[in-house]
Structure 1
Amino acid sequence: MESLFRAWKTSRMAYLKFFENYSLEQLNRIPDGFSNNLIWNIGHIIATQHKLIYIGSEVEGHIPEEVFLNYQSGTKPTAPVAQQEADLLKRLLLEQIEPTISDFNNKKFVTYRERTTGTGFHLTSIYDAFEWNNFHEGLHLGYMMSIRKFIV
């Protein structure tokens, strides 16, 4: 699990750099041909991690319900994200890590509701959920690398 957690932390640091390198206007811009923007992708990986790990294990998570509802699968940006919400997402990128690892180490994830993701990956355990989460975050990092080429 240590390598999974290391990969996850590295992924989150890559996401954090978008806040350092782009303005709020750039984070909110949806380029032609895309259905979302940089900030939505950040919110989405936060919401998806919550769904995969916490909802899948039927354990209370560490993000506001509103963040989950606004960025879960099937959503898209409906209005520009204000600075206050951007600051919250930036904080959550890092604040999700230690409580989640602690919850894992303290064996809070006892059961897992098996399911198949929208892309066909079958999740049978919390271990599958962590692996899929890392893969999912890698996919969205790739989407963001494409989006950033069109927002400067």
Structure 2
Amino acid sequence: MESIFKTWKTSRNLFLEYFDKYSLEQLNKIPEGFSNNLIWNIGHIIVAQQALIYKSSNIQEYISGELFELYKPGTKPTEQTTADEIKELKELLISLIEKTEIDFYNKRFVTFNERMTGTGFHLSSLKDAFEFNNYHEGLHLGFMMNIRKFLS
């Protein structure tokens, strides 16, 4: 699990860089031909991780239901994300790693409900969910690298 957590931390730090490199307007911009923006991708990976790890383990997530509804799979941005909301996402991006690690090492995850992801991956264990989470976040980092080419 240490390598899974190490990969996850590295990935999240790459997402964190977008907050420093792009303005509020750029984070919210949906380039022509795209269905989402940089900030939606960040919000999405946060809520997806909480669902993959916590919901699948029958443990209350650390995010609000409102946040989940905004960024869950199948959604897209419907309005501009505010500076305050971006500040919250930036904080969650990193703080949830520590909380998840603590919960893992304190053996808080006792059960795991097998599931199939929307992309067809069968997750039969908590470890599968962590591995899929890293894969999923890598996909969204790739989407963001593509979106940034269209920002001025």
Q: Aligning the two structures, in what range does the TM-score lie when normalised by the shorter sequence?
A: over 0.9
**Aligned residue runs from structure 1 range 48-67, under 5 A:** 48-67=48-67
Amino acid at match of 2:116: T
TM, length-normalised to structure 2? 0.99
TM, length-normalised to structure 1? 0.99
Q: 2-side partners of 1:96 and 1:62: how far apart?
A: 8
SS at the partner of 1:146? helix
**Aligned residue runs from structure 1 range 21-36, under 5 A:** 21-36=21-36
Instruction: For residue 64 of structure 1, report the CA deviation from its aligned partner.
Output: 2.0
Unaligned runs of 5+ in 1: none
Q: Tell me the equivalent position of 1:126.
A: 126
Q: Where does structure 1 differ by over 3 angstroms across 4 or more consecutive aligned residues?
A: none
Q: 2-side partners of 1:124 and 1:102: how far apart?
A: 22
CA deviation digits over 1:91-132, x for unaligned, max 9? Answer: 000010111011011111111111111111100111000000
Unaligned runs of 5+ in 2: none
Q: 2-side partners of 1:37 and 1:19: how far apart?
A: 13
Q: Tell me the equivalent position of 1:14.
A: 14
Instruction: For residue 63 of structure 1, report the CA deviation from its aligned partner.
Output: 1.5
CA-based RMSD: 0.6
SS at the partner of 1:90? helix
SS at the partner of 1:96? helix
Say whether 1:101 aligns with 2:101. Answer: yes
Q: 2-side partners of 1:145 and 1:80: how far apart?
A: 20
Amino acid at match of 1:32: E
Equivalent pairs counted in the alignment come to: 152
Q: 1-side partners of 2:68 and 2:118: how far apart?
A: 17
